[in-house]
Amino acid sequence: MLNSGCQELAETAAAAFREVFGAEPEGLWAAPGRVNLIGEHTDYNEGFVMPFALPFYAVAAVAKSETWEFHSTYGEGDTVRADALGTSAEDGVAGWAGYLAGTAWALNEAGYPVGPVRVAIHSDVPHGAGLSSSAALECAILIALADLHGHEIDRGEAARIAQKAENEYVGAPTGVLDQSASLLCTEGNVMFMDCRDLSREQVPFDLASEGLQMLVIDTNAPHRHADGEYASRRADCEEAARLLGVPFLRDAPKDAHLDDDRLNRRLRHIVTENERVLDTVKVLEGGSVAGIGDLLTASHASMRDDYEISCAELDSAVDAALGAGALGARMTGGGFGGSAIALVETAAASKVEAAVIEAAAAKGLPTPRVFVARAAAGAHRVA
Ligand code: GLA
């Protein structure tokens, strides 16, 4: 079942395709953004994550062509043309279109040959909000190219291919969380995934039956050094694993300790965060969503104090939400800006929203945007 929003996006993408290319697209493919419920920075440590797809999609209207032509409806509504993909954003296609070109490149690299297409993209995944708008682009074009060229690709393998586009073509050293969320999440569920082998389980996430809502709070914080800090956290984890003599921090014993204080705190975040994911699964499978509140809040404290990836805007949102009665709250995604989530009783949602906005104003921070999340469908072809 599609949400009507997706259908509308698809119509706009198709109209843009007709206008720019003067022809009909061969099809329309949609891929969503995500929030991660819990399990942060665990993906590149081969640990556990728990994302769900948001009902925001990038829709690609696509048809085969002689050269690569990428058009998007946002920003200037620009069109990028390329005769060849190159091997990276530097010698190929840079900017937003690099996510599309990079995914085509990664498909070729993975042994799924794809030829040039024209694409018109229309997306309502918020940009710069830490909700994976770039993974949505990658995953929409990936399933489009696979369908148009007759490749049947397992969705787990597809997630790895999209991750390769991001890592090697675009040049961001991210894990597999965002792409697997976009490709593999299912409506009404939160996905529990082991990033070691991408084995996964869809866990029912029925907020309404408990009178609950999940709020997403986009802090509108400016991104500060997020890329460099992300890479340095990743390097810390690799160094910690090396010192412990384990392949990844996923393999570190629970009581592992490192003398270096900073590395020890990075280690502690990853070890305890993996534990919290497993506990969250248990609580949800035990039939309680309300029961995960404390785990969410503990996860935030660990990211703030041990992993040091929060910021004033995220802390303000989390503290204000908790102060106004949220059952649990945490930043979600990479950190240093972006969004937080708050689990609230439906009756308390507007009070929490007001408190979050007021707290930001009192501190002179940007005004956050708050919306209610629901677990939506993963990437699919739009009829
Ligand atoms: C970003 C990355 C993901 C993951 C998260 C943190 O979203 O793209 O791979 O590492 O940060 O959990």
Contact between residue 283 and residue 274 where contact means Cβ atoms under 8 Å apart = no
Output the pLDDT for position 75.
Answer: 73
Output the pLDDT for position 120.
Answer: 98
Decide if 178 is catalytic: yes
Within 8 A by CB and 6+ apart from 41, the residues are 175, 233, 237, 269, 270, 273, 303, 307, 309, 334, 335
d(CA 368, CA 378): 26
pLDDT values of the chain reduced to their tens digit, one per residue, 383 residues: 445 568 999 999 999 999 999 999 999 999 999 999 999 999 999 999 999 999 999 999 999 999 999 999 987 778 999 999 999 999 999 999 999 999 999 999 999 999 999 999 999 999 999 999 999 999 999 999 999 999 999 999 999 999 999 999 999 999 999 999 999 999 999 999 999 999 999 999 999 999 999 999 999 998 777 889 999 999 999 999 999 999 999 999 999 999 999 999 999 999 999 999 999 999 999 999 999 999 999 999 999 999 999 999 999 999 999 999 999 999 999 999 999 999 999 999 999 999 999 999 999 999 999 999 999 999 999 98
Q: Which residues line ligand 1 (CB under 6 A)?
A: 36, 40-41, 43-44, 174-175, 177-178, 333-334
Which residues is 68 bridged to in the sheet? Answer: 82
The pTM is what? 0.97
Output the pLDDT for position 74.
Answer: 82
Atom of ligand 1 nearest to the CA of 166: 8
Q: How far is the CA of 310 from the centre of ligand 1 (A)?
A: 14
Within 8 A by CB and 6+ apart from 302, the residues are 268, 269, 272, 273, 276
Output the pLDDT for position 3.
Answer: 52
DSSP assignment letter at 169: I
Q: How far is the CA of 36 from the centre of ligand 1 (A)?
A: 9
Output the pLDDT for position 1.
Answer: 40
For atom 1 of ligand 1, the residue with the nearest CA is 334
